[in-house]
Amino acid sequence: MLKDQVALVTGSSSGIGRVIALELAKRGAKLVLISNESIRLLEALEEIRQYSPDSEAYEADVTSFPCVNEAVSLTLEKFSRIDILVNNAGITRDSLVMRMGNDDWQKVLSINLESVFRLTQLVLRTMVKARYGRIINISSVVGHTGNPGQANYVASKAALEGFAKTVAMEVASRNITVNCVAPGFIRSAMTDKLNSKAREAILARIPLGIPGEPEDVAYAVAFLASAEARYITGTTLHVNGGMFMG
């Protein structure tokens, strides 16, 4: 259980991030939702408050240091602590390297990687003082396998895992763990649009033969946030049905 712990989750207004936030709320945590999707953010907050009435939501662009700094400050004003940080916000801007524009490269790195650095740095200050914390970054199976047309996304996710290992070493003495969860082929609005041929080709690479559900990722995050995972740090938990076995 995560009773009365404060969990900040980025990109939590929709998709996997929203399901992660909901799962943490069901386990007793007080949630702080961060997203730039104003309408969906309020909808997510309403849903999560059914399980965690004290939860809050702040509209913020994770690429803006002033925005995330304000969101963290408001969180500390209300709760005086942040026990769990889930860096989930991420985007794709797919293109072959030869055709990829600099804007698409920079945008993906800015949201998927640089925002993680800034939020981690801000949150670590309070975690170090409390001598407790759980930081969980949402990576991806393609950070290990590569994927044509996603050089920017793959680079950001591979770097995210290296970043997590380094931070884990730096703060372990303060009882702070830093880990990653790497989803594989997870059912989503985007994957539901795939044609049957593309879907079958992906499923053929998965030993379990089925796509994952957002809840599968949320359960992994909840475990790493729990007391049961106290001796796990600097690692990546793969949630991919055997698509990659590392």
Question: Alpha carbon of 146 to those of 49, 102, 126, 154, 222: distances in Å?
Answer: 38, 20, 35, 6, 27
Q: Is 153 a catalytic residue?
A: yes
Q: Which of 132, 153, 219, 231 is catalytic?
A: 153
Q: CA 116 to CA 88: how far, in whole Å?
A: 9
Q: What tens digit of pLDDT does each residue of 119-133 get?
A: 999 999 999 999 999
pLDDT of res. 190: 67
Q: pLDDT for 25-34, tens place per residue?
A: 999 999 999 9
- Identify the pLDDT of residue 188: 82
Do the beta carbons of residue 129 and residue 77 sit within 8 Å?
no
Q: What is the mean pLDDT of residues 72-85?
A: 97
- Distance from C-alpha of 38 to C-alpha of 20, rounded to nearest angstrom: 18
Question: Which of 33-42, 50-59, 178-187, 199-208 bottoms out in mean pLDDT, i.e. has the lowest?
Answer: 199-208
Q: Which CATH superfamily is domain 6-237 in?
A: NAD(P)-binding Rossmann-like Domain (3.40.50.720)
Burial class, 81, CB count within 10 angstroms (exposed 0-12 / middle 13-18 / buried 19+): middle
The candidate with the shortest Cα–Cα distance to 114, out of 232, 10, 222, is: 10
Report the mean per-residue pLDDT for the chain.
Answer: 96
Q: Quote the strand ranges of 73-124, DSSP E.
A: 84-87
Measured distance CA(50)–CA(111) in Å, rounded: 30
Token pair 């649009």 is at which residue?
A: 193
| pLDDT for position 189 | 75
Whether the CB-CB separation of 167 and 137 falls below 8 Å is answered with no
What is the arithmetic mean of pLDDT over 135-158?
96
Q: What is the pLDDT of residues 229-245, one digit of tens each?
A: 999 999 999 999 999 99
Residue 80 and residue 78: Cα distance in Å, rounded? 6
